[in-house]
Structures are given as structure tokens and as C-alpha cells.
């Protein structure tokens, strides 16, 4: 499914300037705020100030986009997409997992924008014992009701950490003792031959863009899934399941 064809449920949205401000002040998890290009109302300046202060993701959109998403609601040129889940703080979660005696396994999703792929990945991640998903605040899939449905509810049980600066998050994890593995076809080494034990972060990239070069550079190792057919690529959610199976095979033998 193309992300541009995604039609969110109205339950994902808060409509109107004052309602969005109230959602922000109430501490709701905001996925994204849409502002009508050229829109004007008395509270708009206050809203923009809060967006800037809290570094909330936003974008300007034309009237046609508002008509498509609002479905007749009185939007006043302002929409906020609210996450159905509460995001975890990565730097709080890491020490908690270590204190619990766990050997953490994280999945880092790089440039994956399709909410259904995101949901399917979350489902596999929960099944294979992943301790958290890490997603970028900008340029990645959103936790929406559609993503939760596709995940079979896994996104209600699996911690999701949304980070402002993905490269800094990966470097923080490396400094914390994590081994960072990029799942990519840009290597001769098979994923089964990469060390996947110990505290681990596995990076998955989108089918179109793959893993960004700066994140490939940060990775400690790279591994690919061997393929025999002529198509040459796997759906990213399928690739996630295969990579996580390999990780759990190694980790169970090492336990």
C-alpha cells in the first residue's frame, strides 16, 4: 500500500486549533500536525510557538488534503494525528532492561513508511521477543490504528521508541554496549554468519531506499538474506521475520 493512499480513521485525529493545543498540553502523543497553507486564526500563533518549543513534527498542507482527511469535520485549518500508543524514552528503557538482567534485542526501522509493513514487522518482533522498536520522529511510519490492527495488537504490547536524531540514537546504543547489525543486500556476508548474540540492534530499511548510508556506516556488521529466485528482493516485513528468526536461533543456542 502506498503511504499516499493511506486513509486514517477519524479516531487518529484531533480537529481544530484549540483542540490540538489542548491535546498537546494534556501530554497526548502527537504523530504529526497538519497546518493549512496560508491559514489564519487567532490561536495559530500560539500553536506554532508550542510546536517549535516541543519540536513536534508538522507540515503544511493544501485545502484538498484537509478535505480528504477531515471528512466533513470542522478542522479550522489544523489537524493533529494522535498516536494510539505511548512512546517510550530510549535512554530510560536501556538501563531498565539491563537492570532486569536482560540481553536486549532492538529493531531499528530506517525510512520504513508503509503503516501495514510497520504493523507486520511489529507482529514478528513481538513473536520473536524483541524488546523495543525504534522509529524516527520524521520520515517513518506512524503508530496508527491501522498499524495496530495489522500488528494483531502487538503494538499495544511492544515498546516503541521514537527518536529525533536516529544516528545519535544508534551511537548511544553502541556506547551502551549494543552490537549494531544492518540487514542489507549490500554485503557478501549472510545474516546467519553474523554474530547476533549479546545486546543487539538490527537495522531494517525500506524496500525503495534501503538503509541510509550514514546508518550503514555506523553499523558494526552487515548481513544479507540469501535469495535464489529472480525477483531479487523481499517484502521488508518478511525480511524482518527471517532476520529475527536467525537472531533467536543464535541467542537460544548461546543462552
Q: Which carries the bigger pLDDT value, residue 86 or residue 5? A: 86
Q: What is the pLDDT of residue 5?
A: 37
Percent of the chain with pLDDT over 90: 55
Q: What fold, for 3-82?
A: 60s Ribosomal Protein L30; Chain: A; (3.30.1330)
Per DSSP, 36 falls in state: E
Edge-first strand listing for the sheet containing 30-36: 13-15, 78-82, 30-36, 58-61
Residue span(s) of the chain under CATH 3.30.1330.30 come to 3-82
In this predicted structure, the answer to whether residue 37 has a pLDDT above a threshold of 90 is: no
Considering the four listed CATH numbers 3.30.70.940, 1.20.140.10, 3.40.1280.10, 2.170.190.11, the one that applies to the domain covering 90-254 is: 3.40.1280.10
Instruction: Give the burial string for 106-138 (b: 16+ CB within 10 Å, else e).
Output: bbbbbbbbbbbbbbbbbbbbbebebbbbbbbbe
Tell me which residue has cell 528503557.
93
pLDDT tens readout for residues 232-250: 678 999 999 999 999 999 9
| Pick from 177, 172, 243: nearest CA to 205 | 243
Tens-digit pLDDT profile for residues 133-146: 999 988 888 888 88
Roughly how many angstroms between the first and final C-alpha of the chain, as a whole number?
A: 39
Residue range(s) occupied by CATH 3.40.1280.10 in the chain: 90-254
What's the rounded Cα separation, in Å, for the pair 36 and 87? 27
Lowest pLDDT segment from 57-66, 76-85, 229-238: 229-238
Distance from C-alpha of 139 to C-alpha of 153, rounded to nearest angstrom: 23
Neighbours of 41 (CB within 10 A): 14
Radius of gyration over every alpha carbon of the chain, rounded to an integer in angstroms: 19
CB 68 within 8 A of CB 94: no
For residue 247, give every residue at least 6 positions away whose Cβ sits within 8 Å of its Cβ, in sequence order, or none.
105, 128, 196, 200, 202
Q: Which grid cell is 211?
A: 538503509
Average pLDDT over residues 66-82: 84
Q: Which residues pair with 174 in a beta bridge?
A: none
Q: What's the pLDDT tens digit per position in 8-18? A: 454 578 888 98
Q: Which residues pair with 247 in a beta bridge?
A: none
pLDDT of residue 9: 52
Name the DSSP letter for residue 103. Answer: -
Q: How far apart are CA 80 and CA 73, in angstroms?
A: 13
Site of grid cell 518549543: 53
The answer to whether residues 91 and 99 touch, using CB atoms and an 8 Å cutoff, is no
Amino acid at each position: 500500500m502506498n503511504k499516499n493512499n493511506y486513509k486514517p480513521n477519524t479516531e487518529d485525529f484531533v480537529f481544530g486549533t484549540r483542540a490540538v493545543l489542548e491535546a498537546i498540553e494534556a501530554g497526548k502523543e502527537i504523530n504529526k500536525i497538519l497546518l493549512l497553507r496560508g491559514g489564519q486564526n487567532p490561536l495559530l500563533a500560539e500553536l506554532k510557538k508550542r510546536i517549535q518549543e516541543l519540536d513536534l513534527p508538522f507540515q503544511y498542507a493544501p485545502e484538498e488534503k484537509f478535505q480528504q482527511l477531515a471528512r466533513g469535520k470542522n478542522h479550522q485549518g489544523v489537524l493533529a494525528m494522535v498516536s494510539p500508543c505511548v512512546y517510550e524514552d530510549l535512554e530510560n528503557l536501556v538501563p531498565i532492561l539491563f537492570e532486569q538482567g536482560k540481553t536486549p534485542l532492538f529493531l531499528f526501522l530506517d525510512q520504513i513508511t508503509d503503516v501495514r509493513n510497520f504493523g507486520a514487522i511489529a507482529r514478528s518482533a513481538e513473536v520473536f521477543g524483541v524488546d523495543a522498536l525504534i522509529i524516527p520522529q520524521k520520515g517513518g511510519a506512524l503508530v496508527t490504528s491501522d498499524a495496530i490492527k495489522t500488528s494483531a495488537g502487538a503494538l499495544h504490547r511492544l515498546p516503541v521508541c521514537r527518536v529525533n536524531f536516529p544516528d545519535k540514537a544508534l551511537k548511544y546504543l553502541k556506547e551502551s554496549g549494543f552490537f549494531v547489525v544492518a540487514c542489507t543486500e549490500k554485503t557478501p556476508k549472510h545474516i546467519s554468519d553474523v554474530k547476533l548474540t549479546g545486546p543487539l540492534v538490527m537495522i531494517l530499511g525500506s524496500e525503495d531506499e534501503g538503509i541510509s548510508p550514514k546508518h550503514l556506516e555506523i553499523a558494526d556488521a552487515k548481513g544479507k538474506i540469501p535469495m535464489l529466485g529472480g525477483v531479487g528482493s523481499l517484502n521488508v516485513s518478511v525480511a524482518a521475520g527471517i532476520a529475527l528468526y536467525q537472531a533467536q536461533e543464535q541467542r537460544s543456542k548461546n543462552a
